[in-house]
Amino acid sequence: MFLPRRFIELSAKLGSLPGIGPKAADRLVFYLLDQSEEDIRALADALVAAKREIHFCTRCGNFAQGNLCEICQDLSRDGGLLCVVEEIRDLAAIEKTGVYRGLYHVLHGRIDPIARVGPEELGLNRLANRIRTDGVHEVIIATNPNFNGDITAMYIAKLLSELNVRVTRIATGIPKGSELEFADVFTLTQALEKRTDVQG
């Protein structure tokens, strides 16, 4: 091997990141070694600071730098409208449409019988409590249109059926079995606008 140990170690670290294969990792190391020590330090500092300072919003589960995320702090948004998503990347996909002006509730998962993830593990009581206390009038369920997303949606609809709140689910313009985060902006906008009521 003609490359120093440090090079190989760094390339292996970068290569373990999602979407980066061994060749791309090597190319990144070549690029990084070409930068000034100052630039490298700034990159390392940004990584550590992001890890140290970014947490989950205490209200909705989105990324936040303080207690509340940017969306929860935005007073121009409709606090009576709540969109339930599985992951932050789903929230990001919906934000990209620019049409949704309500708040979110990020589950950080979905009901998954095989992985033994049930309503308790998902903290669904926290969602119900939020609806009781935050004056929510509509909950839009935007879980993925696949098996686990469907049972999660059904469970939430049932849980909320006792509360005085309208429960809808985004339309199935998103192909069955696919994932929200990969839907294009047009499809997702249509899915939001053509949402339908769900009976619990």
Residues that bind Zn ion (CB under 5 A): 57, 59-60, 62, 69, 72
DSSP assignment string, 51-120: HHH-EE-TTT-SEESSSS-HHHH-TTSEEEEEEEESSHHHHHHHHHHS---EEEEE-SS--BTTTTB-TT
Query: To the nearest whole angstrom, how small is the minimum distance from the Cβ of residue 126 to Zn ion?
Result: 13
Q: How far apart are CA 122 and CA 108, in angstroms?
A: 7
Q: Which is nearer to Zn ion, 57 or 140 (CB)?
A: 57
Q: Determine which helix (DSSP H) or strand (DSSP E) holds 162, and give its type and residue range.
A: none
Query: To the nearest whole angstrom, how small is the minimum distance from the Cβ of residue 67 to Zn ion?
Result: 9
Bridge partners, residue 85, by sequence: 106
Query: To the nearest whole angstrom, how small is the minimum distance from the Cβ of residue 71 to Zn ion?
Result: 5
Query: To the nearest whole angstrom, how small is the minimum distance from the Cβ of residue 145 to Zn ion?
Result: 25
Q: How far apart are CA 103 and CA 122, in angstroms?
A: 19
Within 8 A by CB and 6+ apart from 44, the residues are none
